[in-house]
Every structure is written in C-alpha cells, then in structure tokens.
Amino acid sequence: MPREINAKVEGGTLYLEIPLEKPTPSKSGKMLLLSSSGGFTRLDAKCPNTGKVIKASWNIGVSHEETI
C-alpha cells in the first residue's frame, strides 16, 4: 500500500496523488500491480455535500502483454 496519498476535492471533483511502487505480479499473474489500497482507505478529504470523510479503494497496474 502506498505510504502517503494526497487527496483534495475541488469543484465537486476528487483529485488523488498516488505514488507508484515497484511493479509486482498480481495474484492472478495477469497484471503487474503498481499500487493497491488493500481495501478501503480513509482519505484526507471530505465530501462537499455531506462533510463526511471520503474512503476509496484502488488497484493500479499494467498488463504483462502490453508493449510500447
């Protein structure tokens, strides 16, 4: 899981800065994971409509087969 996530809400849009890590194979072996939250993570941002803290979950990766 990334060490520090920067999150902010501007104009009703959530912006995240998520550090990418050294690629590691996913459990299925189909992807190389660059970042994973490991489940819902509490962010330092609040919903502008409710004032509640936003939680998010993500997996960021690339396919083994992709080439440039």
Task: Flag whether the pTM goes above 0.85.
Answer: no
Q: For 42-52, how does the pLDDT look when each residue is reduced to its tens digit (9 = 90+)? A: 999 999 999 99
Q: Are 19 and 36 in contact (CB under 8 A)?
A: no
Q: For 7-17, how does the pLDDT look when each residue is reduced to its tens digit (9 = 90+)? A: 999 999 999 99
Q: Residue ranges of the domains in the chain?
A: 6-63
Is the model more confident about 65 or about 54?
Answer: 54
pLDDT bin (cut points 50, 70, 90) of residue 6 is very high
